Structure 1
Amino acid sequence: MAEIETASRDINSSESIMNLGSYIDTNTLVKRLQDFTPESLHPLFVSLSEIVFFGIDLLHLFLATFVLLIVLTLRSFITFVANSGVKYILRGTNQLYQEAVISNLYKPIRFGILLIGLYLFFTIIFGERGWIDILFSTLFVGNLFWLLVAIVVASKDILHKTVERVNPDFSNEISGFMLKVLISLVVIAGILAILQLWGVNVATLVASLGIGGLAVALAAKDTVANIFGSLALLFDKSVRIGEWVKVQDVEGTIEELGMRTTKIRTFDKALISIPNQVIANEFIENFGRRNIRRVRMIIGLTYSTTPDQIQSIRDAIEELLVNHDDVSKEPWVIVRFESFGASSLDIRIDYYLIHKIGLVPYLEVVESINLSIMEIVNANNASFAFPSQSLYIEQMPPIALQATPQE
C-alpha cells in the first residue's frame, strides 16, 4: 500500500504540471503579443492566422516554436541552478560524491525541462486535448521516477558506508543487494503510478493478485529460489566479491553477487553466470579464505645415488623450507625418503605456503623453491631420474646372411 500512496502523490504532482495547459489561452497570448509589437505588424499576425496547414495556422505554429525555443534556451540555466542547489545541499560531503550525484541527476532534469517545452508546444498548437494530457502525464511520471532512481543510485556511497558500520566484511555485497532492491521498489511504484494514471484501479489490481498468486508463484519459483539463494549467500558469508572460488566445474573470481545470479570471471576471462540457488546448494571451494596453501611433490633420484647423498639432500631441502619466509611451520614440513620407485629413489616433499592472493605470486614462490632444490641436488653430485627401462639380451640370435642376387 505504501507504493500505491506514493504513486498517488506522484500522479497529483503530474496533474499539477498538466494544469498549466488550462492556463494557456492561445488567443490571449496572441493579444498580448500584439500589445508588445508595433501596429504595423498586426496585419502580419492576421495573415499568418489565415494560413492553415493540416488544421494548424502559422501564427500558432510560430508562437509554439517560439515558446519551445525559449524553454530550450533556459534549459542550461535551469540545469545550472539545479546543480548549484544540489552542491549547496551536499556541501558537507566530498567533491567526488557531489559530482557523482550531479552526474546521475543531469539527464532526468534536462529531460524534464524538455518535456515542459514540448507540452507547451503541443498545447499551443492543438489546444487542450485529452491525448496530450495522458501522453505527457505518463512521460512526466516516468521522468519523475527516473529522477528517483537516479537519486537512489547516487546514494550508493552513503548506503555502503552505512552498511560498512554494521558489517564491514560484506559491505560491498550487502549494499549492492540493497541498492538493487530499492531500485526495484521505485520501478514498481512508477509502474503502479502510470497504471493509475491510465485509469487502472491499482488497489483492486493489487488485491486481485491474490487470486492468481498461485500461478505466479509456480511460474516464478526459480526466480524466488534464486533470490532466497542470494540471501543465503549473504547471511552465511560463503563468498564475497573478488574471492577465488570453485563451484562445480567453474573456477574463477567472483565479480558480482546479484539478486538472481552470481557472475564468476574464469581464468580464461570468460564471464559465467550461475543461478544463486545452484551455488547455495553446491559445495563451494573458497580458495580466497585459506590462510595457508599445501604443496606436495615427489622428486626422484637415480639409483646410483648413495645413502649419504640422499641424507644430505634431504637435510638441505628441509633446512631450506624451514628457514623460508613464505613457508608455514604449521602444520608440518615433511622431507623424507619415501620409496623405491620403478626408475627412481623417491623423496617426498610436503609443506604449506603462507597464502598469497593470486596465482602468479604463488607460482613465483614455488618456482623459487624448486630452483633451490635443483641446486641442492646438483651440489651433492646427484641426478634426477626419469622413467627408463633396461633391456638385457642373453643370447644374440644367429644372423642369416643372404647373398644378394647378381644380374
Structure 2
Amino acid sequence: MSAFFNSVFTSVSSAASALLTPEFWAVQWPLWKMSILTCASILVFRICYRSFILKLTTHLKERYHYDYIDSFAKAFNHPIQAFLWILAFYSFIVLSPLSPFSQHPAFDKILRSSLIICLIGGVYNLCDAGHGLIMQLLKRSNQHIDETIGELISALAHMLCIMLGVVMVAKEWDYDITAFIASLGIGAMAIAFAAKDSLANVFGSIIIITERPFVVGDWISANNVEGIVEKVSFRSTCIRTFYQELVYVPNNLLSNTSIINYTQRQKYRIQFLLGVTYSTTREQLQNVCQQIRQLCEQMDDIYNEGFDVNFFEFGDSSLNIRIVCYAKVPENTQNYALKNSMYHKIRERFNLEVMRILEENGVSCAFPSRSIYFETPIPEAVKEK
C-alpha cells in the first residue's frame, strides 16, 4: 500500500512541475480540448438522463402500469448518476496530456471498482425497496404470504450484495480473498450446526413457496391437522381448524409429509352402498340400477361420465348397490364453505331422486337384522310365558 501511495505522489509531483511551464499548455492544447469536450459531453448526458429518462419511466408507469420499470429506475438512479461523475473525471484525466496520471494502472482499477460499486449499490437499493417488489412478485404468483417473509428475503439479499461487492472489488485490486471465503464457509457451517432445526424450517418454507402445494385460504389436511391456511411464515404454517383452533405446524414437517388440498379438487365424489332387502326380485333390482344410471346421465348437477352403478354384492342383511358419481361444483370460486354447501345440496337432491326411484319400484331399503333358529323346539309353557 505504501508503494502505491509513493508512486501516486511521484506522479503528482512530476505532473505539477510540468503544468507550471507555458510551453506545456500551448503544445498540448488539442489534447486538453478533447478531454474537456469528452468530460462535458458525459455531464450533459447526465443532465439529459435526469431530465428525460426518469420522466419517461414515470410516464410508462402511469400509462401502462409497469411498476417494475419505476422500481428499477429509482433503485439505479443515484448509482448511475454517481458513475457518470466518475466516468467524466476519468475521461478528463485519461485524455488529457497528464501522462503520469493517464498511464497509471490504478486509474483503470478505480474505474472498474466504481462500476462494480455502482452496480452493487443499484441492486442493494432494489432489494431495499425490494420488500415491496418481492411481495408484488409473490402476489402475482398467487402466493399471499406474510410480509415478514419479504423482509427476510430482502435482508438476505442485502447481505449477499455486500459480500459480493467486497469480493469483486478486492479481486480488482489483486487482494487474496481465499481466506475471507474460507472464513465465511466456516462461519456458515457453525451457524448451520447451531440452528439446524430452524434452518430445516426455513428450507421447508422455501419448498412450500416454490412448489405451492397450497396457498393462504386453501382447505388442507396434513400431519393429522385439517383446516384453512391462514398464514405462511418462514418457521411455520398457521392452520385454522373447523373447531376454530389455531394450529402452528412447522414447515419442516409439512415439506416431508403428504398434503391433501381439498380446495383444488376438480370434482366432488359421491360414493355409497345402497342396501335393499332380500325380498327384492331380480327384475326390480335391474330396473333400479338402470334408472339410477339414467339419473346420473340426465341430472344437470352430476357429470354424465365417469359414474358407476352396479349390483355389487350380497351383504349380510341386504343386496348392495354400489353408486359412484361426481357432483358439478363451480370452479370460479375459491370459497371452500360455498363449495361444500353447494356439494351437500347437490348430494341431497341426488339422494332424494334415488329414494323416488326406490318408491316407484316398490323396493325398500334394508337395515341390519339377524334371524335365530332353535334346534330344540321351545316348550309350550315357555311360549305362553
Alignment TM class, shorter chain as reference: 0.5 to 0.7
Whether the aligned pair in 1 keeps the contact of 2:277 and 2:319 (CA below 8 Å) is yes
- Name the CA distance, whole Å, in 2 between partners of 1:352 and 1:363: 12
Q: 1:395 aligns with which of 371, 377, 382?
A: 377
Any idea what SS the aligned residue of 1:384 has? Answer: coil
- Name the CA distance, whole Å, in 1 between partners of 2:183 and 2:253: 33
Any idea what SS the aligned residue of 1:326 has? Answer: coil
The letter of the residue matching 1:359 is N
The letter of the residue matching 1:285 is I
Whether the aligned pair in 2 keeps the contact of 1:173 and 1:257 (CA below 8 Å) is yes
**Cα pair distance change 1:162/1:274, threshold 3 Å:** closer
Deviation at 1:209?
8.3
The letter of the residue matching 1:254 is V
1:278 aligns with 2:248: no
Deviation at 1:288?
1.8
Whether the aligned pair in 1 keeps the contact of 2:222 and 2:258 (CA below 8 Å) is yes
* Equivalent residue, structure 1, for 2:324: 350
* Equivalent residue, structure 2, for 1:336: 310
Matches within 5 A, 1:45-56: none
**Cα pair distance change 1:160/1:178, threshold 3 Å:** closer
Deviation at 1:218?
2.0
Q: 1:290 aligns with which of 251, 262, 265?
A: 265
Q: 1:382 aligns with which of 360, 363, 368?
A: 363
Matches within 5 A, 1:199-348: 214-330=189-305, 332-348=306-322
Matches within 5 A, 1:48-197: 156=132, 160-164=135-139, 168-173=140-145, 177-182=149-154
Note the residue ranges of structure 2 that are not aligned, 5 or more in a row.
1-61, 64-127, 159-181, 331-335
Identity of aligned residues (%): 33
Whether the aligned pair in 1 keeps the contact of 2:298 and 2:304 (CA below 8 Å) is no
1:372 aligns with 2:353: yes
Deviation at 1:235?
1.0
TM-score scaled by length of structure 1: 0.50
Whether the aligned pair in 2 keeps the contact of 1:295 and 1:352 (CA below 8 Å) is yes
**Cα pair distance change 1:152/1:371, threshold 3 Å:** farther
Whether the aligned pair in 1 keeps the contact of 2:204 and 2:251 (CA below 8 Å) is yes
More relative contact order in 1 or in 2 (CA 8 Å, sep 6+)? 1
**Cα pair distance change 1:309/1:239, threshold 3 Å:** same
* Equivalent residue, structure 2, for 1:60: none
Deviation at 1:302?
0.9
Deviation at 1:318?
1.4
Whether the aligned pair in 2 keeps the contact of 1:333 and 1:351 (CA below 8 Å) is yes
Deviation at 1:232?
0.8
- Name the CA distance, whole Å, in 2 between partners of 1:347 and 1:289: 30
- Name the CA distance, whole Å, in 2 between partners of 1:163 and 1:261: 18
Note the residue ranges of structure 1 that are not aligned, 5 or more in a row.
1-91, 94-150, 187-206, 402-407
Encode CA deviations 1:85-133: one digit per residue, 9 max, x unaligned: xxxxxxx79xxxxxxxxxxxxxxxxxxxxxxxxxxxxxxxxxxxxxxxx
The letter of the residue matching 2:196 is K
The letter of the residue matching 1:289 is Q
Whether the aligned pair in 2 keeps the contact of 1:159 and 1:175 (CA below 8 Å) is no
Deviation at 1:272?
0.7
Aligned residue-pair number? 236
Deviation at 1:375?
1.7
* Equivalent residue, structure 2, for 1:118: none
**Cα pair distance change 1:355/1:277, threshold 3 Å:** farther
* Equivalent residue, structure 1, for 2:104: none
RMSD after superposition: 3.9
**Cα pair distance change 1:246/1:385, threshold 3 Å:** same
* Equivalent residue, structure 1, for 2:23: none
